[in-house]
Amino acid sequence: MDEADNTNGSLIDYASHRASAFLSSNLAKEIGKVFAEHKDKIVVIDGENKKEHEYLIPKSKVHQYGNMRVYIDISEDSLKDFEI
């Protein structure tokens, strides 16, 4: 994986542009779009029209972000722990 490119915007910019969120452990697994930043968490929603899954993920779990993608450092199995 490339070095983190956190210089081209803050996470709030990524939320306003609906950046894609991926699991760092499975780069092919898009889990949704970043919709908001709230305190020390980000809101990720899968399915814009029909919300299938909504996640509230601590910013501390963001591994890196760049090129309008946010990579989250949690396993696919533990993703359900962050579902709201």
Domain boundaries, the chain: 11-78
Nearest to 62 by CA among 72, 52, 47: 72
Does an H or E element contain 22, and which?
Answer: strand 20-23
Residues 6+ apart with CB under 8 A from 48: 18, 33
Give the Cα separation of 54 and 10 in Å (integer): 21
pLDDT band at 61 (very low <50, low <70, confident <90, very high): very high
Query: What is the pLDDT, as a whole number, of residue 9?
Result: 58
Looking at the domain that runs over 11-78, which CATH code has it been given? Answer: 2.30.30.240
At 11-45, the pLDDT tens digits run: 667 677 789 999 988 777 899 999 998 889 999 99
Residues 6+ apart with CB under 8 A from 50: none
Q: pTM to 2 decimals? A: 0.78
The tokens 């910013």 sit on which residue? 59
